[in-house]
Structure 1
Amino acid sequence: MFKVDLPLEESVVLAVERRRTAEAARQKRIFNTRNRLIGVDVAALERQVTEKREREEMERQQDRAFDALRVMNDAVLMQQFEEEERRRAELSRELVQFRAIHQRAQDSRDADLNFNKQGTSELMSDSNLEFGPASMRVFQGGDGKDREKKRAQMEAYGRALKAQAEEKKQLHLQHKHAELLRDQEQLREDLRALQFSVLDHECKRAGHVTLSKYNQAQAAEKAEQQRKNRLKEEGENFAEVWHMMTSDLLTECPEAAEKRGGAQEKEGVAPRVLTDRWKGMSAEQLSAIRRQREEQCAERARQRGTEKKREAAWDHLQMEQIQEEEVEKQRALERERERRTEMDRYNRQLAREQCAHHQYLDKKLYTNRPTADYFTQFNSSSR
């Protein structure tokens, strides 16, 4: 087989390239001395703060939009409720008018029964005429003025029709006037909503401009503060370098390691040693330390001798106590052995007495033992 360099798949190449990029970014983060020592990702924190502000602003905008939608829904519901109430009032008024015009009690079929007094008066007025007994034209329950009554009813019906037409015309004019007023009110509402939207847009634009100016001022203030901090740090570094160059640390001054005070000089106390300026001990100090160490060694040897004597005494006392405990243990074992011997003797005596008692029972007391015939004699019959 020959070795052939086949082309790799595109997904494999992309995966390898992605891993290389991630590894390079990770090395950049790890080997960055500033981030490793400080341990704070300022860019990530600023990004989180920006995202949080954007999220809060979006939530506030959503709340304002929901509030506006709720107000608009409430207005629409109130308008629908008022329109429904107006329609109900109009229908009720039209129904009352219809009943007053077309369903009068005087025009019903039994009006002559309900309004019998009027007919009685007319009959009484016609009764004054002189008719003969065989020429009666008006009877009780009849009407002698039917033609005039019909003419009066037609005239009343015509007047009712004219009044109904006028009422209908007035209602039509009122309806058109109400529609005109409603259209004007809707136009005013639309204009007011348009003005509100324009004002809202202006407020949002002004808020964005103000926020942008505030952010610019904050950025300028932060840059100025960073510049002041950098200048302050440079001044402190320069002062530290100058102090190191002119201090007693580099000039090798041995007196710089001793700090004296007024109270220490009066009381004769040794001066306190400054560890950051100490250059070493003198020969007198070394000899004093050696003498003190020898004295401490001798004192330690004496203490060890005393400690050994005390330990020997304690060992001797413990050995005596152990011997006494052994003797007491032997005595206890001897007493236990004697007790067991006495108990064995007593048990053997009891065994002999019990054996003698059994022999007495078996040989002297229970001599006449029952046979099998004795037990078979019972329950042998029906009685």
Structure 2
Amino acid sequence: MADDVTRLERRRAAEVARRGRIFDVRRRVMGVDVPALELQVSERRRREETEVGVARALDALSLSHDQMYIQKQKDEEERKAELARDLVQYRAVHQRPEDSLDADLTCDLKGASMIAFSVPEWELGPASMQVFQGEGLREEDSRRAQMEETARTLRAQREESAKQRRERKHEELQAEMRMVQGDQRALRLQILEAECKRAARVALSSFNRAQAEEVRERQRKGKQLKEAEDRAEIAHTVTSDLLTECPDSAVRPGQEGAAWRVLTDRWKGLTAEQRGAILREREEQRAEGERRRAIDRRRELAWDSQWQEQGRAQEEAERRSREAERERRRQMDKYNQELSLSQRRHQQFLNKRLYTNQATDHYFSQFNSSSR
């Protein structure tokens, strides 16, 4: 009873705390419950870690069960083999065919042993006689010989079992030696592989150093060649006609039509032919400019007319589109009016015929009174 009361009080306290969180406008509207979210995250992580630990424990338990089952199977097989050997040894010692009552019939023996039967002769009737006069004279010798044969047989069996165990141990030792040799061979191969990798790294480092040296030498030679080319270019520029204005390259008598260089200390201006050539070239350029401008004006007029045609076509298309839009809007307004009328009629049906029972304040006050 006390546990029920405690549980009830705990639930009431949790309900009051939950109601405070739910009906807190600031927390509900402006943000989230960060501590609760962090608690959920930590619980989820702890649950995941627990699940991972349980899975690992189950895996380890399953592995141990499998090992126990395999060991139990081996023990059971060894126990069955031991029982079979004991049964064979017991039968060889205590259940020999020549010691049975019908040994003279099944084993073709004469004078079966009757030592086990210690029944007095006077208690046996005529029909119970199994040993007659003159029989069993050398019974002790034959029994001793049989026991010696049995002992030799058992000794041979023990020696054979010991030999088999020694052979098994030898085979196991050979297998372990082969495993050790294989491990040693694998270790040697790993050492050889490591040495090969080390030698390859050394060779690669040497090759990279040689390549780097070759690149540096090539760069040095290229730099020297570039410096030599730069010096030759500077010397050529200093000694060329660009700066020296060599008089030999100027127009000489009889070479007026040839290429000429302007010498500022000797130049007297343009000749009449040069001025005429310049004027003619300028007139040709002006005429060419006029012709191009005329072509551009005609092209612009053609483009303007084409743009006007396209503008008129676009205006016509826009006008048709506006008319179609106005028609669609008229149809939509008509449909909306019909839909509004239908909804008003349906609302009047709901208010006047269907929903005639109005809810009181008590009906609304029962909601939002709990956090659930």
Q: TM-score when scaled to structure 1?
A: 0.36
State the structure with more CA Rg: 1
TM-score normalized by the length of structure 2: 0.37
